[in-house]
């Protein structure tokens, strides 16, 4: 399966890239920007060590979720809620925010990869087993 580069345009159906695009920077001093605001009953911060090099199952959640690469190389497979088999695979070399109900899963390209994940304090969702396994 082809591995796509993360860009704002090809990420748009699934979520957002977390980058300086939300900052109004005049080149002077420190600048802060807000990418998005979400009402929530609380968040949890997770840390995922990824060793699997294949994706046989995808999942979705009823909340937004971030995937932020910390070390190693990793891919992320994404699909809209209505089409879990129509995956688009990206090299996860930038932090992203996934929209609600986006099918997703990650696999290591390197021997091991590590990700920081922010998500709602409580999440609900589902799983879908793929007809064709994705290999990193």
- In the block, residue with structure tokens 């070390």: 71
CA distances from 17 to 75, 91, 96, 112, 130 (A): 15, 12, 4, 23, 26
Are residues 32 and 101 in contact, defined by beta-carbon separation less than 8 angstroms?
no
Residues in the chain: 136
- Please give the pLDDT value at position 101: 98
| CATH architecture label of 3-135 | Sandwich (2.60)
Tens of pLDDT, residues 22-76: 999 999 999 999 999 988 889 999 999 999 999 999 999 999 999 999 999 999 9
Strands 74-79 and 103-108: antiparallel
Give CA–CA dist 133/136, Å, rounded.
Answer: 10
Q: Which residue has the higher pLDDT, 1 or 20?
A: 20
The whole-angstrom distance between residue 131's C-alpha and the CA centroid of its chain comes to 22
Phi and psi based region of residue 112 (left: phi greater than 0; alpha: psi -120 to 50; beta: remaining): beta
Neighbours of 75 (CB within 10 A): 24
Q: Report phi then psi at 38, rounded to 5.
A: -135, 130
- Please give the pLDDT value at position 104: 98
């Amino acid at each position: 399966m082809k591995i796509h580069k993360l860009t704002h345009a090809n990420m748009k159906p699934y979520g957002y890239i977390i980058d300086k695009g939300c900052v109004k920077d005049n080149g002077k001093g420190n600048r802060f920007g807000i990418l998005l605001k979400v009402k929530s009953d609380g968040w949890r911060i997770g840390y995922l060590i990824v060793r699997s090099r294949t994706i046989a199952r995808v999942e979705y959640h009823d909340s937004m979720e971030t995937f932020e690469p910390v070390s190693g190389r990793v891919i992320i497979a994404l699909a809209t809620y209505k089409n879990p088999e129509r995956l688009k695979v990206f090299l996860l070399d930038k932090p992203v925010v996934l929209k609600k109900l986006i099918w997703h899963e990650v696999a290591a390209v390197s021997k091991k990869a590590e990700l920081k994940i922010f998500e709602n304090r409580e999440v609900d969702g589902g799983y879908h087993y793929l007809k064709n396994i994705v290999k990193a």
